């Protein structure tokens, strides 16, 4: 439950609203309890022939006679005490006198209450019994309406606290996810993160709403009714409440089962998110390979498993209600049966145990029964509270596990800004692998002077993209170091490093926004003129100007409203707008036609001046703009040089050029 309590502490930031909701809940509980006081006068009206005023007057006379009788007994006991011969007898009589004094004080208090009721309440009622009943019921209805206003206020305040807490929690979670390195992010999985942001967060919100809502309001209602029931007979009320500890034990057992079951349900929902995400993102492959039936069976299996787990949760929750209800009704029945015996026999005790001060009438018994039923109703509603709190606790564990996850990249507190790159980039004995025992790169030794264009080539799986992913510190090498102008990347701040870098990748990423916004993503607060200039340098303005809405055209989800070549030119414009010191181009012309590629090469020749550029490519014509070529083979540098030098000394490079020539001829 510790993660759940962390969310409660987060909600405590809005303590003003919580305290106000507590105040409204208290008022609503008092009004709820007061409603049932109308039962006694209504029963008096329906069961007798006298008006309420006459009934109260008769009750006053009866209590006054009783008080006079008690005083007479006190006087008699005083005479007996004076005549007593032994001290033990006098002490016994003194104890009896004290008891009768207590009864007299209680009688005087009862008379005061009845006269207060007579003065401020009974005199306002009509003499006619039916009209009195109408007034009483109208008063009850008015109190219910007022209670409804306070309950609405409490629900609104609790809802605002819950949603504000969820707002803070989601943003805190999202901020932490953005801080994760790529390896940690991939290990978490986007589908699982999505499930935690949506389904888990809603489950936690339901638990918080229950905690601040039902857990506060329902016990207050029960407490109000208990207080009034105790004024009738605290002994009979206690008989009803003896089953409460047993109910708490039952709910504890049910709650533990609920927490485990809820955690499994949340995990199954994460699997459904995963399947949906993979299917929707790969829908073209699904259709192209006619695998609709296969993914449909996968989805059916996942949803069936979710159904099984969800039904387990429903059955546990459904079991709690009847168990608590049976225990509540059993308590009411025991108390009512004993009360009925006292009414029918006219006694105040049973088996020598005094249960009431005075003999009960049937109106008072009905009032007590009604109050017990009113106590049982909130307790019944609380039967599902513990299960919901346990489900919320399971969700909180998953959410805070994501919030507490720390990036694998070491971030030095107060790290200095890296200097603006103007000398060289050096890879010193760099070794890296996504798994420690399977290195992708081994002992990479390379120095690139500032302003140089370096092409990185090699067969598939040789580590080209992995090598350049180390430069913006998407990952850190297990051995060795990468230096910019002699400063280790790990000793400087990530932000100062990445602000000097722009990337254009083979898998172009565009956001579901306008073309203007996608280009401006490279440099926030860029002017319209800067954005259009960058588009022209990337030869994107040619197709943008032909679109109906120009730069305000929406690119669609993942940029699917545009062709592959158009997406890559927008991505290149985004990089140009950033004006980086280090430019990384990963197969940046893979989806561009030959004519556009020639124009982009011409623009890049101008743009690459005054910045260090790394190019990953399989195309020979892309190598023409490079100053040096680095050939990778099996995660190691095979050779470094210019095109004609590598043809002479590198068998790997010759194979690559021959393969490209064969593809070009075909």
| Domain C-terminal end among 371, 404, 437 | 404
Query: CA neighbours within 13 Å on the CB side: how many for 132?
Result: 23
* pLDDT of amino acid 192: 77
pLDDT at 624 over 80: no
CA 198, CA 201: separation in Å to the nearest integer?
5
Segments forming the whole domain that contains residue 504: 451-476+493-665
pLDDT at 150 over 90: yes
Q: Within 10 A of 333 (CB to CB), how many other CB atoms are there?
A: 13
Does a structural domain hold residue 388?
yes
- 468 & 561 share domain: yes
* pLDDT of amino acid 389: 83
Q: What is the pLDDT of residues 489-518, one digit of tens each?
A: 888 888 888 888 888 887 777 888 888 888
- 394 & 461 share domain: no
pLDDT at 351 over 80: no
- Residue 153 CA: distances (Å) to CA of 20, 33, 150, 205, 208: 9, 19, 5, 18, 17
Q: Of the segments 54-63, 231-240, 344-353, 625-634, which one has the largest average pLDDT value?
A: 625-634
Question: How would you classify the pairing of strands 501-504 and 487-488?
Answer: unpaired
Q: Where are the beta strands (DSSP E) in 123-220?
A: none
- 467 & 353 share domain: no
The residue with greater pLDDT, 370 or 151, is: 151
Q: Which residues on adjacent β-strands are paired with residue 424?
A: 449
Instruction: State the pLDDT confidence band at 395, using cuts at 50, 70 and 90.
Output: confident
Q: How far apart are the first and last CA of the chain?
A: 66
CA 233, CA 240: separation in Å to the nearest integer?
11
* pLDDT of amino acid 17: 92
Does a structural domain hold residue 165?
yes
H-run or E-run covering 640: strand 636-641
pLDDT at 665 over 60: no
Does a structural domain hold residue 426?
no
Report residue 239 as tokens. Answer: 């008989």
pLDDT at 27 over 90: yes
* pLDDT of amino acid 556: 79
- Residue 102's nearest CA partner among 82, 74, 78 is 74
Does a structural domain hold residue 215?
yes
Three-class SS state of 556: coil
Question: How would you classify the pairing of strands 424-432 and 453-457?
Answer: unpaired
Q: Of the segments 259-268, 326-335, 389-398, which one has the largest average pLDDT value?
A: 389-398
- 471 & 337 share domain: no
- 499 & 611 share domain: yes
Does a structural domain hold residue 421?
no
* pLDDT of amino acid 352: 60
Q: What is the pLDDT of residues 540-584, one digit of tens each?
A: 888 888 888 888 888 877 777 777 777 888 888 888 888 888 888
Torsion of CA 246, 248, 251, 252, to 10 degrees: -110
- Residue 170 CA: distances (Å) to CA of 164, 530, 594: 10, 35, 46
Q: Which residues on adjacent β-strands are paired with residue 479?
A: 431
Report residue 348 as tokens. Answer: 């105040």
- 368 & 497 share domain: no
Let me know: does 262 contact 395? Beta carbons within 8 Å: yes
* pLDDT of amino acid 21: 92
- Residue 559's nearest CA partner among 634, 509, 626, 629 is 509
Q: Of the segments 56-65, 111-120, 625-634, which one has the largest average pLDDT value?
A: 625-634
pLDDT at 45 over 80: no
- 511 & 610 share domain: yes
User: Token pair 């029963």 is at which residue?
Assistant: 43
Residue 518: CATH number of its domain: 3.40.50.300
- Residue 407 CA: distances (Å) to CA of 179, 186, 411, 501, 608: 7, 12, 9, 21, 33
Does a structural domain hold residue 84?
no
Instruction: State the pLDDT confidence band at 396, using cuts at 50, 70 and 90.
Output: confident
Let me know: does 508 contact 574? Beta carbons within 8 Å: no
- Residue 67's nearest CA partner among 117, 106, 113 is 106
Let me know: does 455 contact 398? Beta carbons within 8 Å: no
Query: CA neighbours within 13 Å on the CB side: how many for 481?
Result: 10
Residue 199: CATH number of its domain: 1.20.1560.10
Q: Read off the pLDDT of each residue in 253-258 and give the average, rounded to a whole number.
A: 71
587: left (phi over 0), alpha (psi -120 to 50) or beta: left
- 470 & 339 share domain: no
DSSP 421-474: P-SEEEEEEEEE-SBTTB-SEEEEEEEEETT-EEEEE-STTSSHHHHHHTTTTS
Q: Using the 8-state DSSP alphabet, how is residue 638 labeled?
A: E
* pLDDT of amino acid 663: 57
443: left (phi over 0), alpha (psi -120 to 50) or beta: left
- 198 & 309 share domain: yes
- 460 & 399 share domain: no
Q: Read off the pLDDT of each residue in 359-366 and give the average, rounded to a whole number.
A: 69
Q: Read off the pLDDT of each residue in 126-142 and give the average, rounded to a whole number.
A: 81
Question: How would you classify the pairing of strands 441-449 and 424-432?
Answer: antiparallel
Q: Read off the pLDDT of each residue in 533-538 and give the average, rounded to a whole number.
A: 84
Does a structural domain hold residue 420?
no
Global pTM? 0.71
- The number of folded domains in the chain is 2
pLDDT at 636 over 60: yes
Q: What is the CA radius of gyration of the chain?
A: 41
- Residue 316's nearest CA partner among 273, 259, 394 is 259
Question: How would you classify the pairing of strands 628-633 and 636-641?
Answer: antiparallel
pLDDT at 467 over 60: yes
Q: What is the pLDDT of residues 154-164, one digit of tens each?
A: 999 999 999 89
| Domain C-terminal end among 404, 437, 462 | 404
- 458 & 396 share domain: no
Does a structural domain hold residue 57?
no
Residues 385-414, buried b or exposed e (16+ Cβ, 10 A)?
A: bbbbbbbbbbbbbbbbebbebeeebeeeee
- 377 & 455 share domain: no
Torsion of CA 27, 28, 34, 35, to 10 degrees: 160
- Residue 368's nearest CA partner among 334, 345, 322, 325 is 334
Report residue 503 as tokens. Answer: 């990337």
- Residue 657's nearest CA partner among 627, 621, 625 is 621
| Domain C-terminal end among 404, 421, 441 | 404
pLDDT at 666 over 60: no
Three-class SS state of 189: coil
């Amino acid at each position: 439950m510790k993660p759940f309590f962390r969310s409660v502490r987060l909600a405590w930031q809005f303590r003003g609203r919580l305290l106000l909701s507590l105040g409204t809940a208290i008022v609503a509980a008092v009004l709820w309890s007061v409603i049932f006081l109308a039962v006694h006068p209504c029963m008096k009206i329906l069961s007798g022939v006298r008006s309420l005023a006459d009934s109260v007057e008769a009750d006053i006379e009866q209590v006054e006679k009783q008080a006079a009788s008690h005083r007479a007994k006190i006087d008699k006991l005083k005479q007996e005490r004076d005549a007593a011969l032994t001290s033990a007898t006098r002490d016994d009589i003194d104890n009896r006198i004290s008891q009768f004094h207590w009864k007299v004080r209680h009688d005087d208090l009862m008379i005061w209450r009845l006269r207060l009721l007579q003065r401020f309440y009974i005199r306002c009622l009509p003499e006619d019994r039916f009209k009195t009943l109408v007034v009483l019921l109208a008063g009850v209805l008015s109190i219910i309406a007022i209670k409804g206003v306070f309950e609405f206020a409490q629900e609104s305040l609790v809802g605002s606290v819950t949603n504000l807490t969820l707002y803070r929690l989601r943003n805190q979670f999202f901020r932490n996810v953005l801080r994760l390195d790529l390896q940690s992010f991939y290990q978490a999985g986007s589908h699982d993160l999505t499930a935690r942001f949506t389904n888990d967060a809603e489950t936690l919100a339901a638990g918080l709403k229950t905690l601040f809502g039902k857990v506060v309001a329902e016990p207050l209602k029960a407490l109000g009714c208990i207080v009034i029931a105790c004024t009738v007979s605290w002994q009979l009320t206690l008989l009803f409440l003896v089953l409460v500890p047993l109910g708490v034990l039952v709910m504890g057992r049910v709650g533990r089962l609920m927490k485990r079951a809820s955690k499994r349900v949340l995990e199954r929902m994460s699997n459904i998110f995963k399947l949906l995400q993979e299917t929707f993102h790969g829908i073209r492959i699904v259709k192209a390979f006619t695998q609709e039936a296969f993914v449909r069976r996968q989805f059916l299996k996942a949803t069936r498993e979710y159904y099984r787990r969800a039904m387990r949760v429903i059955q546990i929750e459904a079991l709690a209600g009847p168990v608590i209800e049976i225990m509540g009704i059993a308590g009411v029945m025991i108390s009512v049966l004993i009360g009925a015996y006292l009414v029918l026999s006219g006694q105040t005790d049973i088996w020598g145990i005094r249960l009431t001060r005075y003999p009960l009438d049937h109106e008072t018994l009905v009032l007590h029964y009604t109050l017990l039923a009113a106590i049982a109703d909130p307790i019944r509603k609380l039967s599902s509270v513990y299960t919901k709190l346990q489900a919320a606790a399971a969700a909180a564990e998953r959410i805070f596990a994501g919030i507490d996850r720390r990036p694998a990249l070491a971030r030095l507190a107060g790290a200095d800004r890296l200097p603006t790159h103007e000398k060289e980039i050096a890879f010193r004995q760099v070794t890296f692998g996504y798994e420690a025992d399977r290195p992708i790169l081994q002992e990479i030794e390379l120095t690139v002077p500032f302003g140089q264009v370096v092409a990185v080539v090699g067969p598939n799986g040789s580590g080209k993209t992995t090598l350049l992913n180390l430069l913006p510190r998407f990952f850190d090498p297990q051995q060795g170091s990468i230096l910019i102008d002699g400063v280790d990347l790990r000793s400087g701040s990530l932000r100062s490093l990445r602000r000097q870098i722009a990337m254009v990748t083979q898998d172009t990423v565009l956001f579901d926004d306008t073309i203007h916004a996608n280009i401006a993503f490279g440099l926030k607060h860029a002017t319209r003129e800067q954005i259009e200039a960058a588009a022209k340098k990337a030869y994107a303005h040619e197709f943008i100007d032909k679109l109906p809405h120009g730069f305000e055209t929406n690119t669609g989800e993942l940029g699917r409203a545009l062709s592959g070549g158009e997406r890559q030119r927008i991505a290149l414009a985004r990089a140009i707008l950033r004006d980086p010191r280090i430019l990384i181009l990963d197969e940046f012309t893979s989806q561009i036609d030959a004519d556009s590629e020639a124009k982009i090469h011409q623009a890049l020749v101008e743009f690459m001046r005054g910045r260090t550029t790394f190019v990953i490519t399989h195309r020979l014509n892309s190598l023409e703009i490079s100053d040096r070529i680095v050939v990778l083979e099996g995660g190691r540098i095979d050779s470094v040089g210019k095109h004609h030098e590598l043809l002479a000394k590198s068998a790997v490079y010759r194979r690559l050029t021959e393969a490209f020539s064969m593809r070009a001829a075909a």
